[in-house]
Amino acid sequence: MLRARLSERLQDLLLDNEALEEFLRQLSALAAEFAAAETGRPVLCSVRLARFRQPTVLVGSSREALALDSLQDSVAEGPGLEARETGLAVLVPDTTMDPRWRRYQRAAAQRGNRSILAVTLLADRDATAVLTFSATAPEAFDDGAVAACGALAVRAAKVMRLAVRLDAAKGLNRDLMQAMRSRTVINLATGILMAQSRCSQNEAFELLAKVSNTRNVKLRVVAEEILRRFDGGPAGTAFNA
C-alpha cells in the first residue's frame, strides 16, 4: 500500500513543509516506514544533506537514527560517508562482523545497531544527500530490500532536488531583501549627513565609509546608528568620526 502511494506521499511532504529541514525530517520518517514494510523489521533512517558553502543538514526519523549518523562525523568514517563519496549503495550486513570502518562499526554495534544500509539520494554538483537505514537485527536488508530502498531514493531524489532549489531561491530572496533594506538605511543616513554637514552625496558616503573602517563595523551598522540618533537625539552632527 505504501509503495503504491509513494509518489503521492513524497509530493505531499514537499507541499506541506516550507522549511527544508522539516521536509527532510519527515522524509526520513517516511523512508523508515517504507524500509520497515520491506524488511518486516523496525528500521530507523537518517538523511544527510551537504550543499556548496552551506552547513551540512542532518536529520533522522528518531534520536537514535540521528545519533548513529552523527557517529560518522566523530570518527570520520562510515557507510554514509562512503556512499556520498562513491555514489553507490553501501550495505553492512552485521556491524559485529564487518571489518570496514572499525571505530564506527564498534560504536554502532554497542548502540544495538546490527545492520546498516546507506543509499545515495542526491549526487548533484552543488548538493549531495544520503539515506542511511539501520536495524537492530543482523542481515535485515536482503537483496529485495536493498533494491526497494534504492528505488525509493530514485523517486525521492526528484522531490528532494526541487526542495533544495526552492530553499536556495528563498535564501536568495532573503539576501536581496536584506540588501535592499541595507541600501535604504545607508541612503537615508547619507541624506542626513548631507543636510547636517552641507556636503555632497559622495562626500557624505565617504564619511560613512571612513567611520565604518575606523570602527571596523559594517556600513549598515554605522548608518543605523545615525538614524537612531536623528530620530531620538537632539539636533547636531549625527556622530563624531
In this structure, are 217 and 160 located in the same domain? no
Q: How confident is the model over 100-117, as pLDDT tens digits?
A: 999 999 999 999 999 999
Contacts 24+ apart (CB under 8 A), 153-159: 153/119, 153/120, 153/121, 155/6, 155/7, 155/10, 156/10, 156/27, 156/31, 156/121, 156/131, 157/121, 157/122, 157/129, 158/10, 159/10, 159/11, 159/13, 159/14
Sheet holding 127-135, edge to edge: 57-60, 44-51, 127-135, 115-123, 90-92
In this structure, are 15 and 101 located in the same domain? yes
159: alpha, beta or left? (left if phi > 0; alpha if psi -120 to 50): alpha
CATH of the domain at 221: 1.10.10.10
Question: Domain total for the chain?
Answer: 2
For residue 190, pLDDT beyond 90: no
Residue 235: predicted pLDDT:
36
For residue 173, pLDDT beyond 70: no
CATH of the domain at 54: 3.30.450.80
> 197 is in which domain, residue-wise?
177-232
Q: Which amino acid is at 54?
A: Q
In this structure, are 181 and 164 located in the same domain? no
187 vs 172, which has greater pLDDT? 187
Residue 48 and residue 56 in contact, taking contact as beta carbons nearer than 8 Å: yes
Alpha-carbon gap, residue 43 to 6, rounded angstroms:
17
Residue 239 domain flag: no
In this structure, are 67 and 128 located in the same domain? yes
Residue 240 domain flag: no
In this structure, are 47 and 144 located in the same domain? yes
User: Nearest 5°: CA angle at 60, between 174 and 39?
Assistant: 140
User: Nearest 5°: CA angle at 134, between 131 and 137?
Assistant: 155
* Residue where one domain finishes, among candidates 119, 138, 168: 168
In this structure, are 68 and 187 located in the same domain? no
In this structure, are 149 and 196 located in the same domain? no
In this structure, are 75 and 101 located in the same domain? yes
Residue 71 and residue 58 in contact, taking contact as beta carbons nearer than 8 Å: no
Residue 75 domain flag: yes
DSSP 135: E
Alpha-carbon gap, residue 229 to 226, rounded angstroms:
5
In this structure, are 15 and 132 located in the same domain? yes
What's the Cα-to-Cα distance from 137 to each of 31, 63, 67, 140, 228, rounded to whole Å?
18, 18, 18, 6, 64
Range with the lowest mean pLDDT among 37-41, 65-69, 92-96, 186-190? 186-190
Average pLDDT, the chain: 85
In this structure, are 95 and 211 located in the same domain? no
Grid coordinates given for 173: 530572496
Alpha-carbon gap, residue 179 to 51, rounded angstroms:
23
In this structure, are 182 and 156 located in the same domain? no
Residue 13: predicted pLDDT:
78
- Give the SS3 label for residue 151: helix
Which residues in the chain belong to E strands, given as ranges? 44-51, 57-60, 90-92, 115-123, 127-135
- Give the SS3 label for residue 115: strand
* Residue where one domain finishes, among candidates 168, 195, 220: 168
For residue 239, pLDDT beyond 50: no
User: Nearest 5°: CA angle at 152, between 146 and 153?
Assistant: 90
* Residue where one domain finishes, among candidates 168, 187, 202: 168
Residue 102: predicted pLDDT:
92
